[in-house]
A and B are shown apart, each in its own frame.
Chain A
Amino acid sequence: MNQQTIFDYTIHLADNALVIAQRNSEWCGHGPVLEQDIALTNISLDLLGQARSLYQYAASIRNKMNGNDQATEDTLAYLRDAREFRNCLLMELPNGDWGQTILRQFFFSVYQYNLYQYLQRSSDNTLSAIAEKSLKEVTYHQRWSSEWVIRLGDGTEESHRRMQNAVHELWMFTGELTTPAGYELEAARENIGVDPASLKAAWSQTIAEVFQEATLDVPATGWMQTGGKEGRHTEHLGYILAEMQFLQRTYPDSKW
């Protein structure tokens, strides 16, 4: 198996988890009600934990490929620039209101839930172990975010309008989740990873079921934005990284 492919695939999984964790963590201390502030912070912590496991694994692969490299979870998170990030565009979108944040989490959690079900059976032992451990967390994320989509969709007139608006804002970024990049197809061929196109039916079905209960309309499938998986991002990612990476960039080679 080509090590570069495992590296790219792992980095993609890690970047997804980190970038959405970073976005969600912006809510910490600013949530609409204390219990939900705590719940979303929990999800950020779980996703950050997943990202760390994946970066640690990616770092070990990189160091094996090149003996001179001394990659760590932190060099990967803090010292790569936007073009090297492989997360889907959906993760980096601004939080918007609470409804948009919930909906983004819901779209992603349903995807991650389906992905990790398969990834548990990866022939790569580290990835399967990470998937197995993460699946317990993601099961809760999916439940929590579905419940909130339903509650807000079928709550008041205002909350319904806001949720339907969130759907319109985010929908064109959902297609990328299940549109495979080259390294995903290769990883799938080697039974290391999963072809995300194969998850599309299950993903769409859950979305349709939850939307129905939430009295939300599923948009007609239209044009979908892509590029994040290949490092072509929205204008938002640069700002996320500028903020996240600033200490490491300003004080290079320091321990924290």
Chain B
Amino acid sequence: MSVQELEKIFQDKIDREVRIEPKDWMPDAYRKTLIRQISQHAHSEIVGMLPEGNWITRAPSLKRKAILLAKVQDEAGHGLYLYAATETLGITREQTIDDLHSGKAKYSSIFNYPTITWADIGAIGWLVDGAAILNQVMLCRTSYGPYARANIRICKEESFHQRQGFEILLVLSQGTPEQKAMLQDAVDRWWWPSLMMFGPRDSESTHSDQSTQWKIKRKSNDELRQQFVDMIAEQAKILQVTLPDPELKWNAEKKQYDWGEIDWNEFWNVVKGNGPCNKQRLDARKKAHDNGAWVREAAKAYADKRKEREEKEIKVA
């Protein structure tokens, strides 16, 4: 069969909403796009453990500490499912991780912002996980089977994450004047970076058209961003916080919120590595990996020894 014919069958499957599975034929570019996207998603989960992990030892109550630990552990679990999904595309976890450490692979820029106060942990749950869920709900119906299934598992846990974030903030909103100020300050700092999570404007997005045709993506960056603003603007009323955008207001005609312009200069700078914590995050990942090398080597050496001994025992028997 010619490549053109294979491509036709492939696109036809996608058009009929049949999921693509690892052993199916797929265009090289589809495979590459998925490897890029899924590994980026996996890295985001793993790097995302750092800003939140920053508050585990300082969580203000034992209950909050337990919830935060469980949450950060969930992110590690998501990373595992996603690395497993990339492996179905023919790339090893080690290779994927090396690409992160060399700077070749990216992760979500949002994790390049620092968590300065406890309210930031709430804001991450509410805004960052809130934004991530919209994306991941869409990805539950993505055309590649293993990625779709990984997202279904992830979404179940993410909705709990968003709720715990909102709950942290709700308690602060009913607290002392200092706690209310802490809440507003966190929202002020996390609002715009959260909007940036949806990526460049549709008109600027390089990967979107092809991804839409392949049904990897089913909603555009701008559509998802609008959905996010409409959701958060309502929830902000319950928290009695002001979203830091003077142009944000309800448009009765369009039945959606209008809002101001994202600082795209900041967006591109953080993507390029100039965010407040780009270097620290990558350094922390590399350090964990390097310091763990002897442990991984020892585990492998021990497993090899075991195997050798067992084989000898079988021979003797």
CB within 8 Å of B: which residues of A?
18, 22, 25-26, 28-38, 41-42, 44-45, 48-49, 51-52, 55, 73-74, 77-78, 97-99, 150-152, 154-156, 158-159, 162, 243-244, 246-248, 251, 254-256
Q: Which residues of A contact B299 (CB under 8 A)?
A: 33, 151-152, 155
Distance in angstroms between the alpha carbons of A33 and B288 in the assembled complex = 9
A236 CB, nearest partner CB in chain B, Å: 13
| Partner-A contacts on B (CB < 8 A) | 46, 49-50, 53, 56-66, 69-70, 72-73, 76-77, 79-80, 83, 118, 168, 171, 174-176, 178-179, 284, 287-288, 291-299, 301-302, 305
Whether A28 touches B302, Cβ cut-off 8 Å, given contacts A34-B80, A49-B66, A247-B118, is no
A251 with B179: CB separation less than 8 A: yes
Given contacts A41-B72, A48-B62, A74-B62, are A32 and B296 in contact (CB under 8 A)? Answer: yes
CA of A251 to CA of B180, assembled, Å: 12
Q: Is the CB of A159 within 8 A of B295?
A: yes
Chain A residues closer than 8 Å to B302, beta-carbon distance: 150-152, 154-155
List the 6 shortest-distance A-B pairs measured between CB atoms, nearest first: A32-B292, A155-B298, A159-B298, A29-B49, A29-B53, A32-B295
Is the pair A52, B69 in contact by a Cβ cutoff of 8 Å?
no
Query: Looking at B174, B284, B291, which has the most chain A CB atoms within 10 Å of its CB?
Result: B291
Expressed in whole angstroms, the minimum distance between the Cβ of B75 and any Cβ of chain A is 8
The total of Cβ contacts below 8 Å across the A-B interface reads: 137
Contact assessment for B73 and A38 in the assembled complex, using a CB-CB cutoff below 8 Å: yes
Q: Is the CB of A22 within 8 A of B46?
A: no
Chain A's interface: helix, strand, loop or mixed, by majority?
Answer: helix
Q: A28-B69, A29-B72, A44-B69 are known contacts. Are A38 and B77 too (CB-CB below 8 A)? A: yes
Residues of B within 8 A of A45 (CB): 66, 69-70, 73
Asked if B292 and A35 make an inter-chain contact with CB atoms under 8 angstroms apart, the answer reads: no
Contacts of A28 in B (CB 8 A): 49, 53, 56, 69, 72-73
Contacts of A41 in B (CB 8 A): 69, 72-73, 76
Shortest CB–CB separation between residue B185 and chain A, in angstroms? Answer: 14
Q: Is the CB of A48 within 8 A of B57?
A: no
A49 to B65, CA, bound (A): 10
CB distance from A14 to the nearest CB of B (A): 10
CB-nearest residue of chain A to B168: A256
Kindly provide the distance from the CB of A184 to the nearest chain B CB, expressed in whole angstroms. 24
Distance between Cα atoms of A99 and B294 in the complex (Å): 10
Q: How far is the CA of A256 from the CA of B118 in the complex (A)?
A: 10
Residues in B whose Cβ lies below 8 Å from that of A38: 73, 76-77, 80
Given A37-B76, A156-B297, A156-B301, check contact A31 B62 (CB 8 Å): no
In the bound complex, residues from chain B placing their C-beta under 8 Å from that of A26 are 56-57
Tell whether, in the assembled complex, residue B57 and residue A22 are in contact, meaning their CB atoms are under 8 Å apart: yes
Residues of B within 8 A of A99 (CB): 295
Known: A38-B77, A55-B62, A254-B176. A156 touches B294 (CB 8 A): yes
> Which A residue sits closest to B56, measured CB to CB?
A25
12 intermolecular pairs with C-beta atoms under 8 Å apart: A18-B62, A26-B57, A30-B288, A32-B288, A34-B79, A38-B77, A42-B73, A48-B62, A52-B62, A152-B299, A154-B305, A256-B168
Q: Smallest Cβ distance from A162 to chain B, in angstroms?
A: 7
Give the Cβ gap from A233 to chain B, nearest Cβ, in Å: 18
Task: Give the Cβ gap from A159 to chain B, nearest Cβ, in Å.
Answer: 3
Q: How far is the CB of B200 from chain A (nearest CB, A)?
A: 29
Within the complex, the shortest CB–CB distance from A58 to chain B, in Å, comes to 13
- The CA-CA distance from A48 to B298 in the complex, in Å, is 29
B60 touches A33 (CB 8 A): no
Interface residue from B53, B56, B61 paired with A256 (Cβ < 8 Å): B61
